[in-house]
Amino acid sequence: MQLSSSQLEKFREDGFLVIRNFLDDKSCDVIREIAEVHLKYKIEPIETEYEYIGIEKDEYKQSIRRLRQVYDRDIVFKNWMENREIRPILKQILGEDIILLTAHHNSIMTKLAKTSTHTSWHRDSRYWHFEGKNLVSVWLALGEESSENGVLEFIPKSHKMEIAEESFDEKSFFREDYKINRDLIKQKLFFTLQKGDVVLFHSELLHRANANLSTQDKISFVYTVKGKSVKTIDGTRSSKFKEIELPIY
Ligand SMILES: O=C(O)CCC(=O)C(=O)O
């Protein structure tokens, strides 16, 4: 599968692109069923809401925000991350050979019903260590994702903006108490997703998500690829996990 020139242009302009109905329902259901077992038994490595938000509440200590390191958990997860149909698209977007990362994302990302927290505006690159910015994340919806249950929201074009350091707080979240930031935030876009939809988004793109206020868990899959020319900085967290080249066949 390939992107049309207008889709490619849209990604380059906005820093994200929604591809509808990419993965069939059955494949999504199989991924979700396995994820639900890992969530039910809290199979490590996991990140809880408490670890993310730091608020001492029992419900946050019990609630899983994400299953980490999913590539090595189950062949079904690995197969999605190595899916061959998406590779030509990733190559178009990156403009070079594709390297799959397992250091970042590589997660089943959840917003569990009633016990999740919102995600503040940030760039993923804030805690990554690479020489170069040609990195893109692949988000797969395993069910409906809407504003009510915490769909991703983006500030279009922010991947290309030079943003002053003081616009970010001490945890590198984009401050919402700055007028200049608030003006940018007004431009935010989000799209309701259905099972099987894929969203590609640039590592420099500002994004956030609401808590899940619905009665159903939201479960998604996210992994990240980089262009082959992007160097991982030795001795950092980004260099501690394997990288896998994804050739085009
Ligand atoms: O669902 C969320 O909380 C947002 C996840 C996120 O920001 C990310 O994957 O980079």
Contact call for residues 199 and 147 (beta carbons, < 8 A): no
Ligand 1 in reach of 109 Cβ (< 6 A): yes
- Tens digits of residue pLDDT in 122-140: 999 888 999 999 999 999 9
Does position 21 have pLDDT exceeding 80, yes or no? yes
pLDDT at 170 exceeding the cut of 80: yes
Q: Does residue 104 lie in a domain region?
A: yes
CA 165 to chain centre: 23
Is position 213 within any domain?
yes
Owning domain of residue 19: 5-235
Domain assignment present for residue 158? The answer is yes
Kindly give the distance from the C-alpha atom of residue 249 to the centroid of ligand 1, in angstroms, as a whole number. Answer: 31
Q: What is the DSSP string of 72-85?
A: TT-HHHHHHHT-SS
Model confidence at 52: pLDDT above 80: yes
Q: What is the DSSP letter of 111?
A: E
Ligand 1: distance of its center to the CA of 198 in Å?
14
Whole-number pLDDT of residue 59: 81
Confidence tier at 70 by pLDDT (50, 70, 90): very high
Whose tokens are 């397992």? That residue is: 102
> Could you identify the residue written with the tokens 């990195």?
135
Alpha carbon of 102 to ligand 1 centroid (Å): 16
Rounded average pLDDT over 106-116: 94
Integer CA distances (angstroms), 229 to 49, 129, 135, 143, in order? 35, 14, 10, 35
For ligand 1, atom 7: residue with the closest CA:
208
Name the percent of the chain lying above pLDDT 90.
91
Q: Is residue 70 part of a domain?
A: yes
| Domain assignment present for 118 | yes
How many angstroms is it from 210 CA to the middle of ligand 1?
Answer: 10
Helix axes 5-14, 87-94, angle to 10 degrees: 50
Query: Is 112 inside a domain boundary?
Result: yes
Cα separation values, 19 from 22, 53, 132, 213, Å: 6, 31, 25, 25
pLDDT of 249 reads 83
Mutate to test the pocket of ligand 1, among 106, 116, 119 (most ligand atoms within 8 A of CB): 119
pLDDT band at 84 (very low <50, low <70, confident <90, very high): very high
Tell me, yes or no, whether 248 lies in a domain. no
Number of structural domains found in the chain: 1
Residue environment code for 163-196, b if the CB has 16+ CB neighbours within 10 A, otherwise e: eeeebbeeeebbeeebeebeebbeeeebbebebb
As a whole number of angstroms, the distance between CA 31 and CA 19 comes to 19
Let me know if residue 244 belongs to a domain.
no
The pLDDT score that the predictor gives to residue 42 is: 96
Percent of the chain whose predicted confidence (pLDDT) is above 70: 100
Res 144 pLDDT > 90: yes
- Please determine, for residue 57, whether its predicted confidence score (pLDDT) is greater than 90: no
pLDDT for residue 53: 81
Give the distance (Å) from ligand 1 centre to CA of residue 60.
17
User: pTM for the full model?
Assistant: 0.96
Q: What was the pLDDT predicted at 61?
A: 80
DSSP state, residue 29: H
Mean pLDDT (the chain) is 96
In angstroms, the CA 99 to CA 229 distance is 9
| Residue with CA nearest ligand 1 atom 1 | 209
Distance CA 214, CA 131 (A): 40
Residue 245 has pLDDT above 90, yes or no: yes
pLDDT digits (tens, 9 = 90+) for 186-203: 999 999 999 999 999 999
In this prediction, residue 49 carries a pLDDT of 84
The answer to which of 31-35, 53-57, 171-175 has the lowest mean pLDDT is: 53-57
Cα 246-28-45 angle, rounded to 5 deg: 70
Element housing 62 (H / E): helix 58-62
Segment 164-192 shows an average pLDDT of: 95
At residue 159, the pLDDT reads 98
Phi, psi of 9 (to 5 degrees): -60, -40
Best of 207, 213, 224 for a ligand 1 pocket test (most atoms within 8 Å of beta carbon) = 207
Strands 152-154 vs 207-209: parallel, antiparallel or unpaired: antiparallel
User: Any idea what the CATH number is for the domain that residue 90 is in?
Assistant: 2.60.120.620
Query: Which of 209, 223, 16, 246 is CA-nearest to residue 104?
Result: 223
pLDDT at 126: 85
